Amino acid sequence: MPRLDGVLETALYVTDMVRARQFFEEVMGLSAFTADQRMTAYDAGSGTILLLFLQGTTTETVVLPDSMGTIPPHDGNGPVHMAFAISADVLAEWEQHLTGHGVEIEGQTHWTRGGHSLYFRDPDGHLLELATPGVWPNY
């Protein structure tokens, strides 16, 4: 069987792109690679990309210019979950940073492998997690 090298992209579908960009740039500190009315792509660290799509704007096939190809339709709704990897030494700083921006911490978990998770929501209700090493056998 061919080997997978990792997850490259994670997508969240948002109802208000301006509001979502403000949260992910001002609160989460991400910088956009590219952005337009329907999509924003962020460097999420360690070679991963976080894609924000405006809900309902990706339901048609996208034809790329100069015959580069097509992107099939996709969409999503409802709150989903994703986790950002952080080092243990910045966990307390992140908690202070989030609460300082009025972001409610909904939960915390101390994992048996030694990791720690901090849970909160973005403006669209997606459950976001900051996770330190020791959460999973491979992290």
Mean pLDDT by groups of 10 residues along the chain of 139 residues: 93 98 98 96 96 96 89 95 97 98 98 98 98 96
Identify the pLDDT of residue 67. 76
pLDDT single digits (tens) 115-129:
999 999 999 999 999
pTM, whole model, 2 decimals?
A: 0.94
Distance of CA 51 to the CA centre of its chain: 7
Q: Determine how β-strand 39-43 pairs with β-strand 127-131.
A: unpaired
d(CA 125, CA 139): 26
Q: Which residues pair with 53 in a beta bridge?
A: 13, 39
**Given the structure tokens 């509001």, which residue do they identify?**
19
